[in-house]
A and B are shown apart, each in its own frame.
Chain A
Amino acid sequence: MQHASGHRLAIDIGGTFTDTVLVDAQGAVLATSKTPTTPAKPARGALEGATRVLAETGCGWSQIGGFIHGTTLATNALIERRGAVVATITTAGFRDILQIGYERRYSQYDINLVKPDLLVPRSRAFTIAGRMTSDGVERAHLDEAAVAALVDGLVGCGAQAVAICLMHSYANPAHEIRLGEMLREALPDLVISLSHDVSPEAREFDRLSTTIANAYIQPLMAQYLTDFQTRFSENGLTCPILMMTAGGGMTTIDIAARLPIRLVESGPAGGAILAARIAAEVDESEVLSFDMGGTTAKLCLIDGFRPQTTRKFEIARAERFIKGSGMPVRIPVIEMIEIGAGGGSIAHVDRLGRVQVGPESAGSEPGPAAFAKGGTAPTVTDADVMQGLIDPGLFAEGRLEIDVKAAEAALIRDIGAPLDLDAAQAAQGISEIVDENMAGAGRMHAVESGKDLGARLMIAFGGNGPLHATRVARRAQVERILIPRDPGVGSAVGFLFAPVSFEIVRSRYSTLDALDLDGLNTFFQGMIDEALQVVQGAAPDARLVKRRVAFMRYHGQGHEIEIPLPDDELAAADMPALRAAFEEEYSRQFRRAVPGMTIEVLNWAVTVSTEQAALSRHDEPGQTQRAMATGHRRVLCDVDGDWRDAEIYMRAALRPGDHLAGPSLIIEPQTTTFVSSDFSARVDGGGNIWLQRERENRDG
């Protein structure tokens, strides 16, 4: 699948820019482009980007043998509240699952907090009698006689889509299926999302919320996908379009239209896939990917060349990215920590005299003060300009003028004056705070995952990742950094390495001692068949790999640990090994296992995916040489706080084997790599830049 004949094209539609990458059959990048996203008709911007790279390389549409697309449209529709009018149907007696949720305030000291708007008001929340138990036994029949009244209710409230979430439907979906059929017959135009299909996990609030989110964006995404497909087909595209999912795999347009919720956050997932691929190519088994853009920074742990995954995720968190302030969604996703720290993040002084940075962002409009497009608040980019780290003449290939005076004025007014600092000190203060925020988020994320950052290789990309990598790494005690090629369009490049895959997580509670093995094996086979059908639809001839997982915990605990299972039917003889695997992982995460405690399993998962394409490994360059600087400029050293001369290098001119010392700036069209004075850099055989912290220089 990966290396089907012909070129392959990846398009990542982000909130601000649409990134396009064209590669040849061997995976070598032929052309990239960054074009403005066209929010009214995103497919138009995508077509423009594709046309540009085709024109640049002289390729025709017929030469495209693979097409991968990722988009923030699904996420943005949820954040901007642009979806359908959704109604819900839940089990009688449980009309308020959504209103009640977890009964929790997301901010302990904020007595004026407003809970997130979960899209369906109580007036559109309907119920129907009928009851399943947790082991899937029907306790009361579905009240089919009540469906006619439900139909009236749905029509009366103007519902365009309905999310159906009945008690324990993950264990027995019969009532949901029957109710769905009856509604489809009565209301053929109604979009219907069934919770057991969208997210077959126990916990009614999370499942309902996920089903609502899916129903909410389904009409919009179905229309978008049809439009997208049509536009490209009309232009001559002949290969099928595959969609990038949040879980880091690709799926067909049909599945995407049925389960559009799986498309959220697929752009950042592409970045993590890229980092995982590079980790494999350079054989680094413990990696931290660091993707810093204009508004946020995203960090992901990658172990054994697999990005960490989770099943919990929140969309549209309120201010400050506070946990619990968004709409919970349970789907398989690549786990990333995202914080409001980007080039556009705005700095201010709080009433305790502390510098605070973000999460408010100047975005690209009006942008940092230095962009002179109307922004007046000091941002992280302004601080970088002030410290000399951005060469005003070379920023964005010289297409965007940098106004150093405007940056200075903003820094003095909002930070320098209140704290009695000059512009450079203010700039350095902003950097210290934002870099610490990112490093702190990374450390926290590692701890929550029971992992350590210290020995990791950081892979940095995104428009601001290479610029802040050394500063964040030092604070996170990370010693080595890799900047891949084309770091500015990392997510789109990552799409090209994604497998076709489908993951299903389903609840089935049992203690490990009392597993019904026959029942469990049948249950697994059902999930595997379902996933196989999806994957084979997109990749009929590919070699497939399966991965089975159990989510285990000690009885009485709330936190589950993911334990891989053998890819085979489970037998009684496997049980000691499963217990041992859990205890080993538990003591790795929590220092000590708890011998004698009962182990239980609530959720099980299967992933079916196409096999990874062969890695392209590059030999180390035979000889090394000092790189040729093209100039130098004054920068404020982040290690000792003095102004120093930094050498300037053009990335395009660097060759394998080149090495250089900090402080230096390595400039390329979409970003700059800042090599701090305590780091050195070298270029490997694959064109990656490696930054290594020189320990003897650590104190300046």
Chain B
Amino acid sequence: MVKPNTRLQVMWNRLLAVVEEQGQALIRAAFSPIVRECGDISAGIFDLQGRMLAQAVTGTPGHINTMAEAVKTLRNRFEIHQMKPGDVFMTNDPWIASGHLNDFLLMMPVFHRGAVVGFTSCTSHLVDLGGLGMGPEGSDIYDEGLLIPPCKLMDQGILNTLLMDIVKANSREPIANEGDIFALIACCETGAVRLAGMMDEFGLDQLDGLADYIIETSYRGTLDAIAELPQGTWHSVLTVDGYEKEIDLHAALTIAEDHITLDFEGTSGLSGKGINVPLNYATAYSVFALRCIIGPDIPNNAGSLAPFRVTAPEGCILNAQAPAPVAMRHTLGQMTPDLVYGCLSQAVPDLVPAEGASCMYDLPLRHVPEAAMTGSGQFALELVFNGGTGARPGLDGLSATAFPSGVWGSQIETSEAVAPLLFNRRELRENSGGPGRHRGGLGQRIEVQSASDADFMVFLSVERVLNPAKGRHGGLAGAAGRIRIGADGAALAGKGEVRVDAGKTLIFETPGGGGFGPPAERSHQDVQRDLEEGLISQETALDIYGTTP
């Protein structure tokens, strides 16, 4: 009797489960807070040609597409016929791996019945690579730390100890780096064992038939989703705060019958600071934003990604070339969904949300430099807070919620347990959600002071202080982000180092999301509920929504 294609489907499900297993194991073993809190990792399985068959769904979209391209690059760099079981390859080249030095990518050939049948790969964010450390202050990539070109980390199961020593010798957190690289190796090995085991179980010699099925099915499904959209080209410009000056991001989105192209022609040139974005990373967030609307249920693989093409002129800030500094490439990378939605909302106005806070509001807090000399009172805390998301076509935005990143916010009690800080407030900001038929999500207000008599440092790299999230289709903008020292302190710039004196309070307010549709169309009940909940003031209800309680 003829087997239904459920057998192929079962194997596809198995591959998806394997990459999720790998991803979870990597997150649990990670030392880097950004991995733990944001799931800033990736794990994938590839066929012999280097086509991605499955990728773990994790918290940060920054690896979508980047890993698919990176493995192709590595696969072409090394001769397949010279690969041996137990070999593992590695790089952290931002233009190959994932846009900045902290992301390490490993690739391992999978052997089955004596031959290479495919690859497993994974990426994870390491805590520290030396240089100036994680921040936008570097003037070029050399300021930002150690770059390791594609190399062999393990040779037939034997670790290249010199390479590991170099990574450790160039880091402020050598032990954590070693632990993270161990976790990456284990992740590749586990994937390889599972893949070979599955091929054994299902009696497969090679992956071609399964790979074709996965890629074909996903490609067709994505084309069907594209076919539901109108064809044409739409343009959009998004002005963002930048570092030294404001930056214009330009996009042209073309929807054709069988593909979608996105071009960043017209976008401003490079910044002198590390907020430049390699194109692989800008592509990751842009394609993520598109796939949230176009075929979100289709898994990421070579087939579902094939119809999306992203281009940009070299040297614009979304296609930074070496040796530009790129450490904080996520600050602008996370703004690209709003840029892309500016185009897409013209094509399908009823499917696309308003602009949101978008950029995560990282709050890295450290001891002051003198503490390192005296050796007391040292701490480092990587807190992440978020603003509001843009109002959705049929729903309000989400308050204090990450989008496009999938970061987990922090808990105050655990933060206070590990650092000499006292938080006096963490509450939603009244009136910060952009008014509209559907209201933008609210930002939040954090107040923090030193719990001792020592000052502390803040390292800022956030957006939407000067350019708040705009509303759509008549909706109004959300509140801008605002950072001050003391309630009557001057507003600080969104990027740079700040010293907070003991006894002073840092007030850190995250932006609200934009509204969707005219505020006058918001239902009376919704305005009343917002009033009762204290999300808007009486004045807003009256002046903007025109509602009398």
Contact = CB atoms under 8 A, between A and B. Distances in A.
A557 interface: yes
A354 B9 contact: yes
A554 to B, nearest CB: 7
B13 interface: yes
A94 B186 contact: no
Contacts of A642: 1
B427 A94 contact: yes
A104 B408 contact: yes
A595 B3 CA distance: 52
A188 interface: no
A134 B4 contact: no
B182 A443 contact: no
Interface in B372-425: 384-386, 392, 394-395, 398-403, 406-409, 411-414, 416-418, 422-425
Contacts of B3: 641
B492 interface: no
A353 B401 contact: no
A196 B24 CA distance: 31
Contact of B400 (A103, A109, A351, A597): A103
A102 B175 contact: no
B6 A167 contact: no
List the 5 shortest-distance A-B pairs measured between CB atoms, nearest first. Answer: A103-B409, A558-B36, A93-B425, A429-B6, A109-B296
A203 interface: yes
A559 B29 CA distance: 7
B4 A444 contact: no
A409 to B, nearest CB: 18
B203 interface: yes
B242 interface: no
A516 interface: no
Contacts of A429: 4, 6
Contact of B406 (A108, A121, A354): A108
B427 A93 contact: yes
Given A509-B418, A597-B179, A103 B386 contact: yes
A133 interface: yes
Interface of B: 1-7, 9-10, 12-14, 17, 20-21, 24-25, 27-33, 36-37, 57-59, 61, 127, 173, 175-176, 178-179, 182-183, 186, 189-190, 197, 201, 203, 217-218, 220-221, 224, 291-293, 296-298, 353, 384-386, 392, 394-395, 398-403, 406-409, 411-414, 416-418, 422-428, 444, 447, 451, 532-535
Nearest to A447: B21
B25 A447 contact: yes
10 contacts: A104-B407, A104-B408, A109-B57, A115-B401, A123-B534, A429-B4, A447-B190, A556-B173, A592-B186, A594-B179
B28 to A, nearest CB: 4
A146 interface: no
Interface in A87-139: 93-97, 99-105, 108-112, 114-115, 121-123, 133-134, 139
B186 A100 contact: no
A470 to B, nearest CB: 15
Contacts of A437: 13
Contacts of B31: 554, 556-557, 594
A447 B292 CA distance: 29
Contacts, number: 215
A143 to B, nearest CB: 14
Given A123-B532, A428-B6, A557-B30, A594 B25 contact: no
A454 to B, nearest CB: 10
B402 A557 contact: no
A444 B20 contact: yes
Given A104-B401, A122-B535, A425 B412 contact: no
A94 B445 CA distance: 10
Contacts of A436: 10, 13-14
Contacts of B182: 590-592, 594
A110 B4 contact: no
A352 B533 contact: no
Question: Which of the listed residues A97, A447, A477, A559 has the most CB atoms from chain B within 10 Å of its own CB?
Answer: A447
Nearest to B1: A641
B4 A419 contact: yes
B416 A133 contact: yes
A448 interface: yes
A232 B325 CA distance: 75
A115 B201 CA distance: 40
A255 interface: no
A205 interface: yes
